[in-house]
Structure 1
Amino acid sequence: MTKTESRVLAQNRRARHDYFIEETFEAGIVLQGTEIKSVRKGSVNFKDAFARVEHGEVFLHNMHISPYEQGNRYNHDPLRTRKLLLHKKEINKLLGKSKETGYAIIPLKMYIKHGYAKVLIGIGKGKKNYDKRDTLKKKSAQREIEKAFRERQKM
């Protein structure tokens, strides 16, 4: 794999289930010490993770990066708050949307791009339970249509 390729390390599967994602942004992430080694190994968990704009900067909360086994005393707190690197225009757009009722900034996936760890964050509006059921019904119907289409092509 060359340095120009991107490799997905972790995905937040619940995000698209719980939110309507309206817009996405690619952000760099500030990591310390042995965290990048754990990230490259794929020891990242997005459960309950969210981003927040504070004092003109974006911070990622509750993202768990497991301690590196060979890191001994140089390991960091797995749940520490991490800064995201974005352009000022993107931060202002995130700030404006997140102030609206029902919107949240959610991390969608983490990957390595050109040797740097990146986080894809999205602006999402929370789904109600009936929206979630409707989405599941649509996915199920689409699977049935594809299955019937494949069986018909075999004949």
Structure 2
Amino acid sequence: MSTAAPSTARLSVGDQAPSFTLNDAHGKSVSLSDYLGKKTIVYFYPAASTPGCTKQACDFRDSIESLMGHGYQVLGISPDAVAKLEKFTTNQELNFPLLSDEDHAVAESYGAWGEKKNYGRTYEGLIRSTIVVDEEGKVQVAQYNVRATGHVAKLRRDLGIDPK
């Protein structure tokens, strides 16, 4: 269960990041407030174990040491159930928390839920997005409609961290 208020407005640099509490892949509650005092990359992805989301998660996994070395923590959020996240985390040997936002309230509060178009069809869904939250809980970077492939390398460049 999330504690975020739904809103479809996108966040901008300098905004206060909406607070949330979600369960991770092991059923443990994780709150954004747990990360105050740390720079935190909060990325939203549509579905665990799909090709694009797997590529993106593995890119974060493979970059985690460098990101952490520059003071960044990583949290992945999707509308998947905890059990699916646990399987995804285990299968891909992910080394950062994945959080379950089944009612997509947190995604809505971050502007990462909305109208999508795919193969001529329009529907509501998760918009692949990355929000970097600074030590005080303010938005440092807000990127929407990002590509799964190459996104982590681009984010590292945007943050001034040379890709390996």
Shared fold by TM > 0.5? no
Structure of higher CA gyration radius: 1
Q: In proportion to residue count, which structure has more helix?
A: 1
Q: In proportion to residue count, which structure has more strand?
A: 1
TM-score normalized with structure 1 length: 0.28
